[in-house]
Chain A
């Protein structure tokens, strides 16, 4: 089968859906003439023209709101935020409008739109590095997908476009693949594996709310998202040599969350590590820990360990960024910790 990069897979999904359904449009900063800041929309303006691919001004609140208006009236917009950090400029439209319209209208309104945003720390300091999932996981009315592999990205993107409710797809800059400027593998990080880069040519969907067991194991469950999936797999491969068997689960969507797959694994291994790049406080790790504590407390042989970013804005200095953001060694430490007794 063909191997695609994550950026290529997302693009293919968007293009196939846009060919299939003329109500799908793309909007965002530099998505057309420039092919997208990370080249995810390469060639799409050429194929679909300016009434389907809209190069917007730098007006995040405005074009997000326009996406909602268009979605309410028959279109299926895909809104690209150039960096996830800039979603905060559009927070009102996302949180107060997109997420709430279905309920506020008593079910009259559907907001079938997709937001896409690259996130993650890559040396660009505090305002271009954030992992934003917790803000949106906390917002009922939105779905939240986080593809760690090209295969998942394509299937989730197509499901998102076909969803009649708003879906946010968070992509990690370091997972885009080498052709993406500013994306690609970090030189210091040899951990991004090729798993899931075989991508079928035809369109397919991955249902929102279906986790994927990226590696089966018996001693400890590592739940990880985005680049942490790759770091967890690297740890699992290492620890195998020490006779430790790790199961790596990627929830793929945080909303809806596939509790069943997670709990099944917890009941098997009785030990859990959660690895995600958002900050610890009020974050993904805390939320999943709470869910596991509520639903599988009796099955735990050790406290759940959360490997998350430290509670800090991302500092510029590379050593400090590395310390704040979870690394392979942090995940390995956490596995040892939950296996201690």
Chain B
């Protein structure tokens, strides 16, 4: 069995046509996403953080490179590994952290937790715990934008595992048929839980999966935020112009286990070590300093800023009120709801 070798995929970062503000934003969002994930790990160990989580450590360049192309009112759907997508779409860290702690001031009022983060004020329509579920939903948001005559675009982030669900195929066909403004982003971290691509997908060049639906595709180095950004720009622009959907495969690597403390024993150590040398944040920093587009001081200032933001988010979350036993009753229906005792 072969796992992709980073040497064969890696492309150099290319800062051309990207101004300093943009580069700082990309770095800021990636560092936020990284720190958020890494802090969660310790919070799960040391506090009473409930539930489970799926860290996207190492995959920051995909979420950030794509979402940074989008406008605030563009739509995103995400999957179980969604913290980074939310952060890249500027969902506030404190509200996310409070949600992780199941607090009333969480972004979903403590009702959804890690796997169901969403923030409609940011166009973030939901992380879904059902693999593939976000794909038709993003496509529907794109259909809605078309019907309403807005210029909005929808992006669906999903994993390499999700392309084997029927809804992937059904959605791609309809989106192509109806030329919907949707960009499908396969976040190919090379595993679906224990299963490497090659054991579950008849083609391993995943961006070719659009062929049968007349949807163009491209595969990019997903640990290269400038490459992701540029490819996403082309895809989003195309969609906005009414030219239809695009299938973007971003090859990356999951640096942690599948969920919470899952040890990922199905991967060998050398592979994990090799891929961690291609850490997207590390690569960005090195390239930025080497080319002089950003300074050491500039980068450190951002890292410090994030450290404070995360600290503040944790403090905000921990000070929040726990979800109450009856809170859920207000969220089952819009109108006064029906619970065990019938209509109240």
> A311–B129 contact, CB under 8 A?
no
Q: A57-B201, A59-B165, A125-B112 are in contact. Are A315 and B328 (CB under 8 A)?
A: yes
Flag if A320 contacts B111 (CB, 8 Å).
Answer: yes
* Total contacting residues, chain B, CB less than 8 A: 45
Cβ–Cβ contact B111 & A280, under 8 A: no
Q: Is the CB of A320 within 8 A of B327?
A: yes
The interface residues of chain B lying within 8 Å CB-to-CB of A126 are 111-112, 116, 129
A125 pairs with B195, CB closer than 8 A = no
Q: Give the segment of A1-9, A29-37, A140-148 that binds chain B.
A: A29-37
Q: Answer whether residue B93 sits at the interface, using C-beta atoms and an 8 A cutoff.
A: no
CB distance from A96 to the nearest CB of B (A): 15
Question: Given A181-B262, A316-B111, is A125 in contact with B131 using a C-beta cutoff of 8 Å?
Answer: no
* Bound CA span A223–B116, Å: 35
The CA-CA distance from A182 to B325 in the complex, in Å, is: 23
Q: Please determine whether A30 and B195 come into contact, CB atoms closer than 8 angstroms.
A: yes
A296 contacts chain B at the CB level, 8 A cutoff? no
Set of chain A residues within 8 Å of B130, measured between Cβ atoms: 85-86, 88-89, 127
* B residues less than 8 Å from A318 (CB atoms): 50, 102, 323
Q: Find chain B residues with CB under 8 A from A61 CB.
A: 166
With known contacts A57-B195, A58-B131, A323-B325, A316–B102 Cβ distance under 8 A:
yes
Asked if A322 contacts B164 (CB within 8 A), the reply is no
Please tell me the size bucket of the interface on A: 35 or more
B151 at the interface (CB under 8 A from A): no
> Is A58 within 8 A of B162, CB to CB?
yes
Q: Which residues of A contact B201 (CB under 8 A)?
A: 57
Return chain B residues, CB-CB under 8 Å to A30: 193-195
Closest A residue by C-beta to B129: A127
Q: Are B200 and A58 in contact (CB under 8 A)?
A: yes
Q: Is B8 an interface position by the 8 A CB rule?
A: no
On whether the beta carbons of A123 and B164 are closer than 8 Å, the reply is no
User: Contacts A37-B193, A59-B165, A320-B328; is A124 near B338 (CB within 8 Å)?
Assistant: no
Q: A33-B194, A89-B130, A310-B340 are in contact. Are A56 and B113 (CB under 8 A)?
A: no
The listed residue with most B CB atoms (<10 A of its CB), out of A181, A182, A311, is A311
Q: Which 7 A-B pairs have the closest CB atoms?
A: A317-B323, A34-B194, A316-B113, A57-B164, A127-B129, A57-B200, A323-B325
**A-contacting residues of B (Cβ < 8 Å)?**
50-52, 99, 102, 108, 110-116, 128-132, 161-162, 164-166, 192-195, 199-201, 262, 266, 322-329, 331-332, 338-340
A interface list, Cβ under 8 A from B = 29-30, 33-34, 37, 55-62, 85-86, 88-89, 123-128, 181-182, 280-281, 308, 310-313, 315-320, 322-324
20 A-B pairs with CB atoms under 8 Å apart are A33-B195, A34-B195, A57-B195, A58-B200, A62-B166, A86-B131, A89-B132, A125-B116, A127-B129, A181-B262, A280-B340, A316-B50, A316-B99, A316-B102, A316-B108, A317-B324, A318-B50, A319-B322, A320-B327, A323-B328
